[in-house]
A and B are shown apart, each in its own frame.
Chain A
Amino acid sequence: MGLVWLTIAHMEGIYRMNELVCMVITEVSPLSNDHEKRVKSEDVEESQIREAVRKRYRALAEQETSCCGPKVNTMCGCSTIYSDSDVASLPSDAAAVSAGCGNPTAIADLKSGMTVVDLGSGGGIDVFLSAKKVGPTGRAIGIDATPEMIVRARRTAKENGFDNVEFRLGEIEHIPLQDSSADVVISNCVINLSPFKQQVFNEAFRILKPGGRLAVSDIILLRELPDELKTNLAAWSSCVSGAVSEEDYIGGMKLAGFVNIKVQDKVIYTYEQMRAYVPDVQTSLSLAPPDNNIIKVSQGTDLSNMIASYRIIAEKP
């Protein structure tokens, strides 16, 4: 549930927080192999990132409706990442607060009776899709650290008669499920938000049964971000600054023990899509919110081909 449009209403608190941490994480390079260690070494930074992310998604959870009508509201606007039949089968309340960057259930090869765990389940869209695919003998479990999202997803489940879903308030770095309990772990644009990605991969590996699969959609960094973005918590909670390279991301999966890791597909974001997050203050497009609420980057900074949405599958041997 990672990606959302930047809006002033969502972001005010985070921008204030951002001022507090800019100095702390200025030197962190998302492309660096020791990125995690350097962030992790300062607990205060980690807690501020965590709070910024929770605040952001708390605001999203409290959003009542989507601007997208029957479509799913994501970073890319009224999205086509879910098929029409998937969208039609979904509770509208779940689609309204979806913030994914892909459709991991489409590559997860879900079968009847399976147990699926969604890391960062948000409003529950991927849990509900999974629940339909695994049927009444299976179960779909969402893990999310934002209480407001858990409340909303549980309400949606109740109102729409889902008996095979559960939503658990927990951290994806400390999953409250026992070892070898899941057939499939999915995640949609969330792992990038964690300052402890290795721990997330380790936990996903732990809860999977031998032979189980990890299927994720996530944002991957294609080249180094401008300094203004590296230091920005708002950009972190927008799934930009926390993103790491393909090499680091897949390296983390390998280190956790995953095998047969495959990039299924990727969508490289254009200048216009990045501008939704990072409007250039020197020009005025309708996407840009007022100056005091935007992430400023230098005029002429090329924002195209900087991040991409990947779908990756991996197996636990």
Chain B
Amino acid sequence: MDILACPVCKHHPLELKIDKEDAKEVLAGSIRCAKCKIDYPIEDGIPNMLPPGT
């Protein structure tokens, strides 16, 4: 999270929302860009940082 930025507007930092986690990583949740109001989902521990619609 220290280095992640919104792939669309490059805003940093992003907001992390945790739905499920283990000792090492967030398993489910989302990463939100407050500037463009986009939520990037985290599924199976992998944030999907692809621009929406691709």
Contacts and interface: CB of A to CB of B under 8 A. Distances in A.
Are chains A and B native binding partners rather than an unrelated pairing?
A: yes
A57 B7 CA distance: 22
Interface string A171-184: 10011111101000
Interface stretch (A26-34, A93-101, A143-151, A235-243): A143-151
A150 B50 CA distance: 12
Interface string A115-140: 10000000000000000000000000
Given A178-B10, A178-B12, A179-B10, A170 B50 contact: yes
15 contacts: A47-B54, A145-B54, A150-B46, A151-B46, A154-B45, A154-B46, A169-B47, A175-B7, A176-B4, A176-B40, A178-B3, A178-B12, A179-B5, A179-B10, A181-B3
A178 B46 contact: no
Interface string A280-292: 0000000000000
A206 interface: yes
Interface string B1-19: 0011111101010000000
A170 B3 CA distance: 14
Nearest to A150: B46
B7 A147 contact: no
Contacts of A177: 3-5
Contacts of B48: 147, 169
B5 A176 contact: yes
Contacts of A171: 7, 50-51, 54
B28 interface: no
B49 interface: yes
Interface majority SS (helix, strand, loop, mixed), chain B: loop
A314 interface: no
Interface majority SS (helix, strand, loop, mixed), chain A: mixed
Given A150-B46, A154-B46, A178 B54 contact: no
A273 to B, nearest CB: 32
A172 to B, nearest CB: 10
Contacts of B3: 115, 141, 177-178, 181
B49 A168 contact: yes
B10 A169 contact: no
Interface string B24-37: 00000000000000
Contacts of B12: 178-179
A36 B31 CA distance: 32
B30 to A, nearest CB: 14
By Cβ-Cβ distance, the 10 closest A-B pairs, closest first, are: A176-B49, A174-B7, A178-B12, A178-B5, A170-B49, A176-B7, A174-B51, A181-B3, A169-B48, A177-B3
Contacts of A151: 44, 46
A50 interface: yes
Contact of A169 (B5, B6, B50): B50
